[in-house]
Chains A and B, each alone.
Chain A
Amino acid sequence: MNGELGTFPRSDMPAPDTGKPEVRVLARGLLLLKAFCPRNVARTNGELAAATGLPKATVSRLTATLTRLGYLDYLNRTAQYRLGHAAVALGFGPLSTLDIRVRARAHMQRFADDNDLVVVLAVREGMAMVCHEVCRGRGALTIRVAAGSRLKLPHSAMGRAWIASLAPAQHAALMLELDQAFPGAVLRPALDEAAAQIAASRFCVTVSSLEPDVNSVATLVDFAQSPGEYVVGCSVPAFRYPPERCQSELGPRLLELRRRIEADLVPAHDGGAA
C-alpha cells in the first residue's frame, strides 16, 4: 500500500478562500457544479448560495458564466439552474473507458456469473463510496445498486475497507469528518473490526450493514497507477451466504478476483509514473 494517500481528494472540503484569484474562481465553480450532484435538482442562486456557503453575488456570477459555457441550463419559469447535457463532456467519457475500468469489468462479470452475486468497483467521494462498475450474476437480485449509486462510507464494506487503508494521520482526520457527517452514530467499533479483518486477511465482511439480510465482502484493489483509490466488493443474500461462509469462501474468492484485476493492470507504458 502506497503511503501517498494524502493526495486523495477531500471533495467535501469547502473551496479555499485564499490563494490566487484564478484558483479561487475555479475552486468555487467546481464546488457549484458539485452542488447539483447527485440528483441534478434545479436550484435558484439563493439555494445554491445556501448549499455551497458562497456569497450570493459570487454564485450569480458563477452561474452566469457556467450557463454561458453551456454547462448549466437556466429555467426561465422558475429562475432556477441545473446541469446541462454538456456537463457530460467534462471527463465522463474518457473516464469510463479507462483501462482500469474496462479491464476490471471483464473479470468482475465473470466473477458475478460464476458466483451469482453483485460485484462492484467503487471510489470514495466525500462521505460515500461511488459505484463505478456494477456487474451482477443472472439471479443476483440482492442490494439495489447501479453505476453511480452512492453507498454510505462508514456503513458499506467497501467504505470500511477503504478507511482501513488510510495512513494514521489521514485516518484520524477522516474520523473527525465522520463524527460531523454522522453525528451521534457509533461507528468506531465496526470500523476497528473491519480494520482488524483487513490486517488479518486483506478483506472485510459486513453483516446487514447497508440493507437487512445482505452481507458484503470488500477489499482494496492496488493499481500502481492509483494506489488506494479503487475498492472491489460483493454483496450476497444472507440466507445463502451467512457470515462464516463469507469469511471462508467468498473472501478468498474476492482476493483471487483482486489478484486477477491487479495482474491484468501491471502498467506497461506509463510504469515510470508510478
Chain B
Amino acid sequence: MPQETRPNGTAAAYVRTTPPAPVAPPMAGLGPLRWIRDNLFSSVSNSLLTVLVIALIAWVIPPLIQFLVIDAVWSGTDREACLATPARPEVGACWAFVREWFSFFIYGPYPVAQRWRVDVFFALLAFGIGWLLWLDAPRRDLGALFFFVILPVVSVALLRGFPPIGLPVVETALWGGLLVTLVVAAVGIVVSLPIGILLALGRRSDMPAVRLISVLFIELVRGVPLITVLFMASVMLPLFVPPAWSPDKLVRALVGIALFSSAYMAEVVRAGLQSIAKGQYEAADALGLGYWTGLRFVVLPQALKVTIPNIVNSAIALFKDTTLVFIVGIFDFLRTIEIARGDPVWATPVTSVTGYAFAAMVYFVICHSMSRYASGVERRLGAGDRR
C-alpha cells in the first residue's frame, strides 16, 4: 500500500490497521532446467569447463568400470583363471587373487587359530570409535573411558596374548595386514591427542622453560621427515640401550609415530586455543576456577570442538603415513599386498594392478569416511553457531 503524498510534498500520517497476509515467494529460480542453466552454463567459461569435465568423466569412468567390474575375474584357484586366452583376450581385475589372499591382507601372518582375537579387537575398536564419534551418544564420558583406558589394555591382552587366561602369546613380528595399519593409526591418533594438547598448552605457557621445551620439540619434529623418526626409533635406539631393554620393534615404531604426530596435533590444538576469546579465560579466572579447572571445563571443550575437523584431517594424514612402517620391517596392509603380488601362483599381468586397486579402495573408504565425518561435524558446528 503506497503512502499518500500531499500536494505540498509532506508525507501524510499513516497507521497500518490490518497485518498484510504472507505471500509465497516468486516461482522463478525453481526447477532442474533452471538449476542447470544457473550452475553449469551460467557463462562461457563455465560452459566450457562443464563440457570439459563431462568429457573427462566419459574418458575415465567407462574403462575403469570395464576393468574393475565387467572384465574382472571373480573366482579361480590360480593364475590360470586370470590369464588372457583366445576366447577372452581382455582380462580385467583378478579379484580371485584378492579373495585367495584376503585373510592375509587383514591379519598378515597372525596364526590362523588365533585370528578370532583380531576379529574381537576389530569389533571393540569399531564400537569404541562409534561411541566416541557419535556426538549425541549417551554417556560419552563412559565412551571415552572405554576408548582411552579399557580398550588399550584389553587390546594388548587380546592381540599380544595373556597366558593366565588361556590366550597364548603372539609375537608382534607375526602381526600384519590391516590389523597393523589400524593398530598403528589408532595408537598414533589416540596417544598424539593428549600429548599434543599438553605441547600446545606448553607453547602458550607463561613459564619460559616449559615454552622453550615445547617449541623445541614441536619445531624439531616438524622439521624432520617421518621416515627419519622411524629410522631413529628402530635403528638408532637399539644402539644406545642394551638389547635386553630394547623394546619390541612394533612398539618402537608406535612411539616414533605417536611422537611425530603429537607435534602436528599440538599445532592443530594451538589454533583451537587461539580461537577462544580472551573474555572466556578472564571469566574463568574471575570465578576463581584456577588454571586446570578452567582449562578442563571452559577452554578445552570449546577449543577441541572447533578443532575436530582439523584433528580428523591430521588423523587422515597419519593413517596414510602409517604405510611408512614397512621400511623398518613391519607388515602393514600395503606391505602384505606387496608380498602377495609376488606370489608365483598368481603371477599374471593384472595381479599387481588388482592388488594396488584393492589397496586404493580400502584406503579411500577409510580416509573418505573420516573426511565425511569431519565435514558433518563442521556443518553441525556451523549450525550451532547460527543458532
Is A bound to B?
Answer: no
Q: Which residues of B contact A (CB under 8 A)?
A: none
Q: Which residues of A contact B (CB under 8 A)?
A: none
